[in-house]
Amino acid sequence: MKNLIKITTIFALFVAAACSKSEPNVPLEGSIEQLILSSSSVDEVLTTTEEVIFTVLGDNDVDYSELATLTINQEEVVGNTFTFSEEGSYEISASYLGTTSNTLLFNVIDSESTNLIVSGTTFLRNQNVNFSLFDGSGEDVTDVATFYVDDAAITGSEFSSAQKGYLMFMLCMYRRRNIYY
């Protein structure tokens, strides 16, 4: 009987000690399979001086925006907000605990100028070329522009040719001004 009381007492103490500690629920390293990077921008065209907020969500629905490392054109930046100061094309990604996010692509234009964007630099015969025009505030004004290829106006902002060789394109009559590229 004495042994039964001792065994029961030891068992009760063991169970009480095992259940007395609680730990916070922390994701284990490597438990994130996917990071999803998004931004506050409504499109892929930004202007210089425009601030963008980046959000990084894990596939476990946890917000890692403050913990993840952002890279812009393969250079690390501090924080999850960024203001572009120079024109150009930028690739942004995030990483955390060895997992890398999707890549966002942005064209940053000067906030003081009008910018023509062409869908590529080299095109094959019969391949579509798309033109876009953005004003200094980043507003897409393609619909009010007239695009020219080899001194001939095209309809809309898309062009394709079966002709071999080099083509010259330009833009005219945007908001009652002539702009040539």
Q: Would you say residue 78 has pLDDT above 80?
A: yes
Does residue 19 belong to any structural domain of this protein?
no
Task: Give 133 or 93, the one with higher predicted confidence.
Answer: 93
Give the mean pLDDT of 16-22. 52
Which among 89, 109, 129 is the end of a domain? 109
What confidence tens digit (pLDDT) does each residue in 20-30 have?
A: 455 444 454 44
Rounded Cα gap, residues 178 and 78, in angstroms: 42
**Where does the chain show beta strands of DSSP type E?**
35-39, 45-47, 51-58, 69-72, 75-77, 81-83, 88-96, 99-100, 104-109, 115-118, 129-134, 146-149, 152-153, 158-159, 169-172
Are the beta carbons of 73 and 84 closer than 8 angstroms? Answer: no
Predicted confidence band at 172 (pLDDT cuts at 50, 70, 90)? low
- On the 0-12 / 13-18 / 19+ scale of CB atoms within 10 A, 94 is buried
Task: Give 48 or 16, the one with higher predicted confidence.
Answer: 48
What is the full DSSP assignment across 7-32?
Answer: HHHHHHHHHHHHHS------PPTT--
Predicted confidence band at 127 (pLDDT cuts at 50, 70, 90)? confident
Does residue 156 belong to any structural domain of this protein?
yes
The highest-confidence range among 71-85, 126-140, 152-166, by mean pLDDT, is 71-85
What confidence tens digit (pLDDT) does each residue in 28-51 have?
A: 444 788 999 999 988 888 888 889
In terms of domains, do 66 and 128 share one?
no
Rounded Cα gap, residues 8 and 16, in angstroms: 12
Q: Which domain holds residue 95?
A: 35-109
pTM metric for this prediction: 0.54
In terms of domains, do 41 and 93 share one?
yes
Which among 88, 109, 130 is the end of a domain? 109
Total count of domains within the chain: 2
Does residue 157 belong to any structural domain of this protein?
yes
